Amino acid sequence: MFKLFASTALTLCLAGAASAETFKWAGTTDPQTMDPHAVNSAPVLGFLNNVYEGLVRRGKDMAVEPALATSWEPIGVGEGWRFNLRKGVKFHDGADFTAEDVLFSYQRASSEASDTRSWFAPVADVKVVDDYTVDILTSAPNPIFPDSIANWMMMDKGWAEANSTALPDKENGNYATLNANGTGAFMLKDRQPGLTTTLAPFDGWWDEAEHNITEAVFTPIDNPATAVAALLSGDVDMINPVPIQDAARVDERDGTKVIRGIEARVIMLGFGQDRDELKYTAMAGQPNPFKDARVREAVAKAINVDAILKTIMRGSAEPASQLVSPAMRGFSDALAARPAYDVAGAKALLAEAGYGDGFSFGLKCPNNRYLNDEAVCQAVTGMLAQVGIKAELDAMPVQNYWPELRADNFDMYLLGWSPGTFDHEHPVRFLVTTPNPEKKLGSWNFGGFSNARVDELLPMVQSEIDDGKRQAMMDEITSIYQSEHAYVPMYVQPLVWGAQDNIELTQRPDNFFILRWVTVN
């Protein structure tokens, strides 16, 4: 009897081991760091959403739901928000999650050294009420504040201080760059930058696990064609993205499938417009034509977005007129038209601005960040050449790209922006307001676009509770940045993921891949 029992137990064990699933996935970009406060970029935040958690999180439909806070309510009339924290939450190292950690994470994520500090522009103060209650006071009424902090991830104070990583260091890195200690569904087991990153489920997680993964391995594969080959040969279970040109083939083949969607990300061109001189080509040192809004408008008119979408994007992306897609809150329906493709008009504008004979400049572009980014930049180079302005294209991997942009090393550049809050206010705050490190504004406004009226309107938008009035102000901001051609929005990027047929997963429009929704059948 005992023997039978033992052998049954053994069989059950074996069966358990057989259904234990190692899930392997690949993406183009390795998350630069494991520090959730060091770099504000989607590959990092998307990856770390599996390891760290915020007070709130986004569900499959992007709606905000309770995470480390069980509930929240406004304090007084727009004075701030009170968050009631979840009890019994443990960090991966076993430490308890308390209000002190929230305060610490606020100080860390809003510090000078952090790339995420602009998220806290509306915050005046954070107060610990008791171990499980935190008040976040805002300098003005901020109705969307809880919506805006889903990516603000909680770090253990004790752990960070013990490992002398109380402040992030995005340039040189520190302990938190290679190690992680969150409260999330997965723990960081092994991190080899650029090679593999291994996650394991966290047994002490407070929520019910939906997935059946026992180990998850992420491998960055730079070359999209190689990633497709890895998917087709079964080396990986999921890849993001599938090159658009290969989507049909992956979908038609038995055993693999393509999951499509429209990403919240708008791809646009930005200009160095706050400086007097060009930086690149033989014309370096000459007066900067992009200071003139007519030249920027000429660029907008010279770009044949339809051609880019038809060929390079193979019909699977939508043209964009604003810094957000129509699905986002605050999109201006009245201003949904893009400047028409008009070579003669562009030439006329250039002539009017005094550049009838054209000029040359440097165009910076990533080559592994967005779908077909280098090909799009090449196409832009060709289209601009047709109106007589010569772009010298310099395409580079994304890990070199952001430092170049931060160092102002461009005349024109390509940027993709996905609003973390799903609100038009987000790109306005990051890309359109005058850069102001003190107020934590315009932190990704590399070109230095500046308009006093936009700066004046943004705080009003942030504190407006009435939807109609808020939209009216949003429309005004949109019409300003459109008529000034602060940026040239081109298209909304499609989401194209590939997976084995036995994988069930959820694709969120922010292109975050959430492991706890993955089932291996």
Residues that bind another protein (CB under 8 A): 223-225, 228-229, 243, 245-246, 248-249, 279-282, 284, 304, 307-308, 310-312, 362, 374-375, 378-379, 381-386, 388, 390-395, 409
Shortest separation between residue 361's beta carbon and another protein, angstroms: 11
Give 459's contacts (C-beta < 8 A, 6+ positions apart). 140
- Output 302 or 458, the one with its CB closest to another protein: 302
Coil, strand, or helix at residue 189? strand
- Measured distance CA(337)–CA(331) in Å, rounded: 12
Shortest separation between residue 392's beta carbon and another protein, angstroms: 6
- Output 253 or 439, the one with its CB closest to another protein: 253
Residue 381, judged by CB atoms within 10 A of its CB (0-12, 13-18, 19+), counts as middle
- Output 111 or 316, the one with its CB closest to another protein: 316
Cβ atoms within 10 Å, residue 259 = 17
- Output 280 or 481, the one with its CB closest to another protein: 280
Cβ atoms within 10 Å, residue 106 = 19
Do residues 222 and 229 touch, judged by C-beta distance below 8 A? no
| Sequence-distant contacts of 431-438: CB under 8 A, at least 24 apart | 431/270, 431/323, 431/486, 431/487, 432/323, 432/477, 432/481, 432/486, 433/458
Shortest separation between residue 271's beta carbon and another protein, angstroms: 18
- Measured distance CA(332)–CA(423) in Å, rounded: 11
Shortest separation between residue 500's beta carbon and another protein, angstroms: 17
Distances (CA, A) of 85 to 68, 70, 137, 364, 367: 6, 6, 16, 45, 42
- Output 103 or 395, the one with its CB closest to another protein: 395
Shortest separation between residue 381's beta carbon and another protein, angstroms: 5
- Output 232 or 324, the one with its CB closest to another protein: 232
Shortest separation between residue 246's beta carbon and another protein, angstroms: 5
Give 15's contacts (C-beta < 8 A, 6+ positions apart). none
Shortest separation between residue 297's beta carbon and another protein, angstroms: 20
Token pair for residue 303?
Answer: 């770009």
- Output 70 or 386, the one with its CB closest to another protein: 386
